Chain A
């Protein structure tokens, strides 16, 4: 099994100037490791929609890699997005699923069933899909996977770590997501000039 913190460190080291769209538990770990906060979108107030936002960015900026850090519970709520993504076939799209079998932010309740996300991605039409349950193999393979044309799914069998508390829903935290989206929008516009 892989720990969130270790996998996120690995992804952050190799992200380059890729945009990263993360959701739920992954966002907390990513925020600690990211060296490009101007290219990070956190979906804290749009349940299950990280992969869809990431698809929009990938289609709008085909010159940039787009990573999405999704959860198994989140993806199960938006499973049709796999087929939508496969249909558009963005070559710059990399879909990481943190597959821990629980809804971490709500206290660790189990998801309805442990699905085979690699099989689902391939059956939906992703160009490639991988499944890892040990960090060493993931660290070894990640550089190659990020060179492959997308859409690529990387399913990470992750240790179930229930969040200490749920997603923040304060006035300040809710104001953060739209502000951060505009930061990324400005960074992408600048990068295009």
Chain B
């Protein structure tokens, strides 16, 4: 899936640039997310990469503690996660917003329709905090989730990672999928 670079405000991008290491609050470290997922007992990540998640995939491969299931098209990811859940595993889905739109019927039938307590990490392509984006993938994401009655959190930096355990708790408690929208590009390390 092609992706535009999200229009992240300059204050958030500062930490990614050389010499601006003091602005830690603006960074979403791939390795921190992998550690957070390991802490939740995640066994598999069913994913289709996008341009924002390349550092995450590198961190995942380096960590080796969670199995990666690469899919050919995003619509496969939810039913594969359902199968892993039937098998007693704890998968998450990781796709981009444009891929979530492609997965609409799978979300309906194989997540909402079976009360699947899965956490879905959705790359928020085109997101910027000011809301003025020409990218329709960003414009439609939150209305799309509202329409499907899927709850979500938005994560932009390491400071937001405490939302992730909460998303797992909510998914389990409600027996419904829960989305975590990734609002900034993962940083290496």
Contacts and interface: CB of A to CB of B under 8 A. Distances in A.
Interface in A27-56: 41, 43, 45-47, 49, 52-56
Interface residues of B, number: 30
B99 to A, nearest CB: 12
Contacts of B72: 80-81, 83-84
Interface string B39-79: 00001101000000000000000000001011111011001
B86 A56 contact: yes
A192 interface: yes
A181 B86 CA distance: 6
By secondary structure, the A interface counts as: helix
A177 B113 contact: yes
Contacts of A41: 86
B19 interface: no
Contact of B86 (A49, A53, A81): A53
Interface string B107-122: 0011001110000000
Nearest to B80: A56
A55 B87 contact: no
A188 B88 CA distance: 8
Nearest to A185: B86
A104 B82 CA distance: 26
Interface stretch (A57-65, A94-102, A107-115): A57-65
Nearest to B109: A46
Contacts, number: 104
Nearest to A187: B86
B9 interface: no
B69 A59 contact: yes
A174 B76 contact: no
Contact of B105 (A47, A88, A181, A189): A47
B88 A45 contact: no
Given A49-B110, A56-B84, 10 more contacts: A46-B109, A46-B113, A52-B80, A53-B83, A53-B86, A56-B69, A57-B86, A60-B86, A78-B75, A177-B114
Interface of A: 21, 41, 43, 45-47, 49, 52-61, 78, 80-81, 83-84, 87-88, 174, 177-178, 181, 184-185, 188-189, 192
Interface of B: 43-44, 46, 67, 69-73, 75-76, 79-89, 91, 105-106, 109-110, 113-115
Nearest first, the 5 closest Cβ-Cβ pairs linking A and B are A56-B83, A60-B87, A80-B72, A52-B79, A46-B109
